[in-house]
Every structure is written in C-alpha cells, then in structure tokens.
Structure 1
C-alpha cells in the first residue's frame, strides 16, 4: 500500500516538473511572436490625376478628400480632429455629423468642439503617374501640387 502511494506521488512530482518545463518552453517560444500593432503604410497611391473631377472628392478607403482646382491638387484629411469621425463636404464647408464641428474649405475650424484644423498631407505624382499621398507628412495650408499637360508635376 505504501509503495503504491509513493508511485503516485512520484508520478505527480515528475508530472509537475514536466508541466513547469513545458510552460517555460512555451513562454520562451512566445517571444518569437511579439505583440505588434501593424498599421497601414503612411505613403500610398490614389488614382491618376485625370480621374478626379474639379472640386472635392472623398476617398473613403483612406479617409481623405482630394481637392482638384483645374490643374492644382491638394489632399485634406476627412478625420475630424475632435473624436475622429468622418467629416462631410457640404458645398461650402466640412461638417462633422457626430458633434457639430464645422471647418472652412481649407480645413480651418469655424466652430468647435474640434480643437484644431483638418490635416493637409504631402502629395506628389508617382513615377507611374498616380497621385501619391504621404499621410505621415503634414504640409502648409497653401500647398498645391500643380500638374502640367500630361499628368506630370
């Protein structure tokens, strides 16, 4: 009887050591898969300049407005600076439907609660002829990308 009890205790002891060893191996293996937040790239391509009509065009996928004034382009964020809602273009101004912020056509605040203007993003033409936006790089409010006769900046 005493021998049976010792076998069971020995089995439990060895099992505990094995479980602790496997837990350590699992924790060490977990280090190869870090918790990383993958964000979309800040630089991306849009359509060709000729694909945009004059005026304000919403790009829902990237949450921005492409503004074309004849041969000049600029890009304004469609994200309200208050709580991140999508602003809407209403013929003469941007409106935030969630909390009532209003912005001028250049993105400056008309009325809050938005604490700052909408962001303007750097815009270029890629070598293959598409508009290219860098949402990680702000530009001045008077920035315009002027494109010549054949879609070249």
Structure 2
C-alpha cells in the first residue's frame, strides 16, 4: 500500500515539471510596446520614428532590434547572419546611444571627471569600453529576437498607415 503515495508523488512531480515547458507560439513572443501610430511600424533602415527620438536611446535601440528581429526572423539564412542584418538596420539607433554616452563623458570631463577608460567586463572580465559593450548588447539582443521570433512564429510589428 505504500506504492500508492509514491506513485501519486511521482505523478505530481511529473505534472509540475511539465508546467515548465512553455508551448511554442505567441506565449513566448514579446509584445510590441503600444505607442503612437508612427512607432508601431517597423522602421526603415536608417530611419527613427519622431516619437522615439525623445526617449531613452537604449530603449529606442531595443525596440528597433525587436521590430527588425521579428520582421527578418522568417529569413532562411542562419540566425547569426540575420542578427547581423538586424544590427545593421538599427545602426542609427546604436550610434545615437553611443553619442549620448560620449556626450555624457565629455560633460563629465568638462566638470573635471576623467572620461570612461577601458574596464573589466562584468560578464567576461576582459577589458572593454562602453561602446564595445553597447555593440555586444545589440548583437545579443538581435540574435535573441531572431531566435525568439522563429521559435514562437512571432508576427512582425503591424504596418501602420501614415496619417496626415
């Protein structure tokens, strides 16, 4: 009679572990942030929506990587190559983020603070710079969004009609 509690316990454990497996589909897709109609469509290469210019450059970059990652995820190329294209499409947003960081560094230098020098990465321990870490971030997020878009068959952002 002791086998029944063991079987019941094993069955409960199996059900609990089965809950860890997320089904493929929209449940793993990251929703796009609700914004103005101009910010809903995927940006053209080199373009940035006017509503997004006033926000945090890191957020603008992440949004761009997300939109282009899902848009290009359907490509038959390897995920790494598609992610490189995503980063290329978002290079203006990455440049703005780097310019903001450089601008902050220049202001700090004008106030007597030393500019950011290479320092050990918190992830690898290798010497790195903020600009290199921004690029590493963009590469990693682009690859993540491409793979996530493929695994979940995530829809690209909806195309918005231009309002005049």
| TM bin (shorter chain) | 0.3 to 0.5
Which one has more relative contact order, counting CA pairs under 8 Å at least 6 apart? 2
When normalised by structure 2's length, the TM-score is 0.31
Please identify which structure carries the higher strand content. 1
When normalised by structure 1's length, the TM-score is 0.33
